[in-house]
Each structure stands twice: as structure tokens, then as C-alpha cells.
Amino acid sequence: MVYLLFEPIEIILRMKTYNSKSLEETQKIAEELGVSLTKGSIITLYGDLGSGKTTFVQGLAKGLGIDRRLNSPTFIIVRSYKLKTTAKNLKSFYHIDLYRIQNEKEIEGLGLKEIMSDPQNIVAIEWAEKLGTLLPEKRTDIKLEYVDENRRSMSIYDYTPGV
């Protein structure tokens, strides 16, 4: 006889899948998500090179009211943008790209724990799998897949700590 014990670690609250046929459509989907974000939201992005992670973050930023074009922070790792809206008690949007990070030890000196724990921040992290044990329990995972030159598939999962 086999006994299985389950301990709830996380609960999926919501899962949606989208198929985009263009860069603009990907950004529009992300923009709609950006408008709905609340203080302390952490967005983690996963996908191969060219899957649309930075394009998605550009749409998120637009949804948060950031007018200027966002460039990937691949070489500087972290970029911050002041948010104009005070209605939601938000201060900053952080765009983090961990592509060049080799291990968790390199992450420790970046101040990511502090950035992610400030409830006045919205944080988007590309290559979030590199966070390892620093990956927050409460987050929204975006998994992007390259379908072809113009099409991307996006799955959005909202997680919250288990009860």
C-alpha cells in the first residue's frame, strides 16, 4: 500500500493562455495586465531567447503609464522607472534581466530582495528561473513560447502562498 502526503506549497489562482500574432498584440496583452497590477506585484518571465520577454515587459510598462520605450537591461541587469500614478500608492517599476547571471551568489549583491519586498514597487524579472531560492512565493509567472517569426504563445499563472 502506498500513502501519498500532500502539503500545499502554492495554489494557482488563475491561469490564462494567449496566442499573439504580432509584437503589437503581445504588447497589448501585457498592457492590459499592467493596468490591473497592484502594489507589490512581481512578474516573472520565462522563455527562450526571442520568445518575447522584453516585448511583454514593454507592454506592462505602458499599462503602468510609462511613456518612454524600455530597453532590455541585459548588461546593467536592473533598470528602474518612477511611476506617475499615486492612485495605487505605487512608486517605481523595476525591469530586471538576469540573462547574464551565472548563479544565486551573483544575485545577492544586486539588492533584489529589497526591491521585491517593497510594496510600492512593481517588479518584472526576465530569466526569473535564475533566482533559485530567492524566487518569491507570491508572483505572476509569464511563460512565453516562440511559435514562429510573428507568433508567440503566452501562459499567465498567478500564484499565492499555500494555506
Per the domain annotation, does 2 fall within a domain? Answer: no
Query: 7-41, pLDDT tens digit by residue?
Result: 444 455 578 899 999 999 999 999 999 999 988 99
Residue 137 lies in a domain: yes
Question: Can you tell me the distance from the alpha carbon of 54 to that of 95, in angstroms, rounded to the nearest whole number?
Answer: 9
Query: pLDDT band for position 85 (50/70/90)?
Result: low
pLDDT value at position 125?
96
59 in a domain, yes or no? yes
CATH number of the domain bearing residue 23: 3.40.50.300
**17 Rama sector, left if φ>0, alpha if ψ -120 to 50, beta otherwise:** beta
- Within-domain flag for 3: no
Reported confidence tier of residue 86, pLDDT bands at 50, 70, 90: low
**Does residue 72 sit within a domain?**
yes
The domain containing residue 136 runs over which residues?
A: 10-161
Q: What is the count of structural domains for the chain?
A: 1
pLDDT digits 0-9 by tens, 35-61: 999 889 999 999 999 899 999 999 999
Q: DSSP code of 133? A: G
144, with CB counted inside 10 A (0-12, 13-18, 19+), is buried
In a domain, 99, yes or no: yes
Indicate if the pLDDT at residue 3 is higher than 60. Answer: no
